Structure 1
Amino acid sequence: MNTQRNLLAQAALISALALAAPLATTPASATASDPAPAVQGETRTPATEVNHFFKAYRKAAQGSGPQAPEQVRKAHLTAELDARLTAWAEENHADPVMRAQNIPKDWKVRNHGQTATTATVIVTEIWGASPDTEVWYTVRRSDLKITDLTDPPLRG
């Protein structure tokens, strides 16, 4: 009888642990201090950070994200870059991140190179009917803040 009770207690414990296990691996939700957390197990790299930024910014620009585009920029960009992008937008009458007046259908992110302190990440914006465009991001490796965002350099 005592053995039967022990087996039942062990079975109940195993069941409870099995049900709780998926909860322990669920990634944390976004917070103001970490607006785009990496998926659990994902290594934070300049490319993943740019991808998180672009995804959040695109949603904000579409009006479907929890933050305004300016809030997303402040969370991921240096203050200097944010100020330069605001000036660029006023001068060019376009979105300073998308470098256009509309929003791309899709995008691709790839590493281009790095130094000891920075990394260059290229976002290819996919428009569909229009040719794809590239925007080059410079990311500070120490804290993964985006320090620059430019059109591709001219090749000559």
Structure 2
Amino acid sequence: MPPSSTGSKACTGPWSSQRVLNASSKLPDQDLLGFIERCLSQWDINYTEEEKRGIIRSLPATYQRYELNECGLLKCPLSDEFVRDDSRLKNAVARFKSEVAQGLHEKGWQKQATRAGRERSQGKFDRYLMEHIEETFGSDDQKTRGPGVQGQSQNDHDKVD
């Protein structure tokens, strides 16, 4: 069967990353911590054992615990208190929402950032960065002359009108 000319539904559906992770997304305006807490509080109802394993695999190593409850089902490794109280999680969610609002998860921005990183590692921006540093902090020559105003020699600084 030939590939669809309209593209994959996974790439264009209402929950696709292209729609959810763009600058016009409503995601940054939502209570994501509340959403996470609701999902975890209904862990056994919302997820199959396979989905639970996938979620656990995506967590940091310290939270990748595959413990079973009294019914033989995987227990959620995160507590409700963790979601409510952990400052690292709160900061990460806030940063993520800000990044989405700024469009930093859009495919085009990601490509530009990758290209800029590659160009930077090849030295393309070295001259610009040196000029910016000199503009901001002064040149090495100015630092050795003392606390004069940028572009003004120490002798000019000491002159009295």
- State the TM bucket, normalised to the shorter chain: under 0.3
Q: TM-score, normalised by structure 1?
A: 0.22
The structure with the largest alpha-carbon Rg is 2
Bigger share in strand: 1
Bigger share in helix: 2
